[in-house]
Amino acid sequence: MNRRWLLVAVAALALAPPAIGQKKGAKELRWGTDPTGGGPYIYKDDPNGFYVGFEVEFAEYLAKKLGRTSTPVEAEWSTLPELLDKPRAGEKGIDIVLNGYEARDDLKAKYAATVPYYQYRLQLVARKDDEAVTGWPDLGPQKKRIGVLEGSVAFDYCNKRYPGQVVPNKDVATMFNAVADKTHADVTVQDNPACVFYVSDPQYKDKFKLVDDGRQPGAYVIYLRKDDKELQYELDNAIKEGLKDGTLRKMYKKYGIWNADQEWLCKELTGDFPPDDAGTVERAGRGGAGTLWPLIPQLVKAAGMTIFLAVASFPLAMLAGVVIAVGRVYGPGGVRVPFAVYVEVVRGTPLLLQLYFLFFILPKWLPFIAFDPLFIGVLGLAINYAAYEAENYRAGILSVPRGQMEAALALGMTPFTAIRTVIVPQAARVVIPPVTNDFIALFKDTSVCSVILITELTRKYNELYNFNRDLVVELAFLTAGLYLLMSYPLAVLARVLERRLGTASGGSR
């Protein structure tokens, strides 16, 4: 191509107008969400397709109004507001929380909130064949087990009125399954959008009934940082405009969740009712994979993340464990005591709590550092397992006869050289079985990393399980098989090393 025409083409691209609804160089509108919660908020009809749901479309609408691009950031539902506390410069930070979060005083005290974008009520759902449940008054006397979403308004409402009967869970779909299968819950209390979605779901055909009227009306709002005044103003205006011009009405009708409460909300925020000419809207349904094959690549990819977390963190844990063990056995008091405290504190506290501290609390003390979730995941696992490996190696070191160290020193070796070349190699032979067991356990413990924005195998299983409930058994066996494929070669390798080195089998955890 002629150089002149090349320059003209480049200039034309540079001067081309931005895409409709986006400003040139538009930045992202990063919104925190938890897809495992399911419909109608955010879910998948096609396992290999894009997310759908009324909040997905709502986020796209808001992003278009603001001249941004909509970017969902996946995390566990209960920790979404915490992501607003991340350093603004952080690569994985979010701008807003948009995932069926109720207007709550405790959250409003810490974060800014927009005007409501949806008015909900708590709805009671029971099995269609359960004739004993005809209304809310039946729950108490009959001691019905009530499944609710942990940390939600429904949880607080039911816990105060029906103490001892509440069965909390982090997943809405799990509660509906428990009621349908007559296992862990007799009824469930959820926000009415979720109830409408699951009751009309073909997977639950003729299984559920909506009981009595909705209670405890409330509102969904968007949470954001308190100093994001301009963003809050833009979001408020976009919500009001969407209600007034019928955009949100059309969107909500698509998912079957438009009702009289939304008419009232529109009147309350805009002074008028939405137009009636929104048109006939085809109800959004829920498809389903129907087959396991499209899901396998997603599980395999998530298994790759599990392998990476384990392989990246365990060598660090082993190295730190050796240092700590040697320090506790041969170090001075100023070294032994801190190492002993470290081991006891780490072993005595849950891994989940340690990851939470590293990812959510530590950045508040060090706001100038952008902590990447993957880095925190590897670091947290290494710190946790280092304590256990330290005890393994300490036991191995103590099993080496004292005369070995004395003989090495008598031959002129320095203490460091004696430890490195005589003591540690002999201890390593003894600790092969427990160290291998810990490595295998680490593959399963990586599932805890889902709390810090990492999608590994267990989280991906939970997500696919919610979107493909007709394949529950198949997904469970496939996920278990992938974990077995990751861990079994390690067990075989450990047995080979044991035979070669003449060590005995054992375990440490």
Closest CA relative to residue 71, chosen from 79, 80, 62: 62
pLDDT 10s digits, 253-290: 999 999 999 999 999 999 988 887 555 555 555 555 45
Percent of the chain whose pLDDT exceeds 70: 89
Interacting residues of 160 by C-beta distance below 8 A, sequence separation 6+: none
Using pLDDT thresholds of 50, 70 and 90, give the confidence band for residue 18: very low
Could you tell me the two tokens for 251? 């969107």
Rounded to 5 degrees, φ, ψ at 98 are -135, 90
> Of the ranges 81-90, 130-139, 199-208, which is most confident?
130-139
Interacting residues of 383 by C-beta distance below 8 A, sequence separation 6+ = 317, 320, 346, 354, 358
Cβ neighbours for 50, distance < 8 A, ≥ 6 positions apart: 44
Render 9-55 in DSSP notation, one character per residue: HHHHHHHSPPPTT--TTPPEEEEEE-GGG-TTTSB-SSTTS--BSHH
347 CB-near residues (< 8 Å, 6+ apart): 387, 388, 391
pLDDT interval class at 37 (50, 70, 90): confident
Region 142-152 average pLDDT: 92
Q: Is the pLDDT of residue 333 over 90?
A: no
What distances in angstroms separate CA 410 from CA 52, 128, 416, one per listed residue? 73, 83, 14
- For residues 17 and 88, the model is more confident at 88
Residue 494 is predicted with a pLDDT of 79
Average pLDDT, the chain: 86
The domains found in the chain, sorted by start residue, are 19-116+221-270 (3.40.190.10), 118-220 (3.40.190.10), 293-501 (1.10.3720.10)
Residue 370 has pLDDT above 60, yes or no: yes
Q: Which of 412, 411, 58 is nearest to 239 (CA)?
A: 58
pLDDT at 31 over 90: yes
Q: Half-sphere exposure of residue 19, counting CA atoms within 13 Å on the CB side?
A: 10
Give the pLDDT band of residue 447 (cuts 50, 70, 90): very high
45 or 508: whose pLDDT is higher?
45
Lowest mean pLDDT among 82-96, 246-260, 341-355, 417-431: 82-96
Give me the mean pLDDT over the 105-125 stretch: 96
Quick one: pLDDT at residue 104? Answer: 93
The CA distance from 336 to 324, in Å, is: 8
In this prediction, residue 246 carries a pLDDT of 93
Parallel, antiparallel, or unpaired for β 118-127 and 187-191? antiparallel
Average pLDDT over residues 37-56: 86
Close Cβ partners of 484 (under 8 Å, ≥ 6 residues apart) = none
Please confirm whether the linkage preceding 193 is cis (ω < 30° from 0): no
Please tell me the chain's helix, strand, coil percentages from 3-state DSSP, rounded to the nearest 5: 60, 10, 30
pLDDT for 490 equals 85
Tell me how far apart the alpha carbons of residues 59 and 65 are, in angstroms, rounded to a whole number: 10
Please give the pLDDT value at position 284. Answer: 59
Question: What is the pLDDT, as a whole number, of residue 339?
Answer: 96
Q: In whole angstroms, what is the distance from residue 235 CA to residue 239 CA?
A: 6
Q: Is the pLDDT of residue 26 over 90?
A: no
CA distances from 395 to 169, 387, 390, 473 (A): 40, 13, 9, 42
**Maximum Cα–Cα distance across the chain:** 96
For residue 97, is pLDDT > 90? yes
Task: Quickly list DSSP for 351-403.
Answer: HHHHHHIIIIIHHHH-TTS---HHHHHHHHHHHHHHHHHHHHHHHHHHHS-HH
Contact status, residue 304 vs residue 486, Cβ threshold 8 Å: no
Q: What is the pLDDT of residue 269?
A: 95
Q: Is 365 a residue whose pLDDT tops 80? A: yes
- Can you give the pLDDT at residue 497? 77
Average pLDDT, integer, range 290-298: 82
Secondary element (H or E) of residue 342: helix 333-348
**Closest Cα to residue 133, out of 74, 203, 185, 201?**
185
**Confidence category of residue 502, pLDDT binned at 50, 70, 90:** low
What number is the average pLDDT over the span 161-184? 90
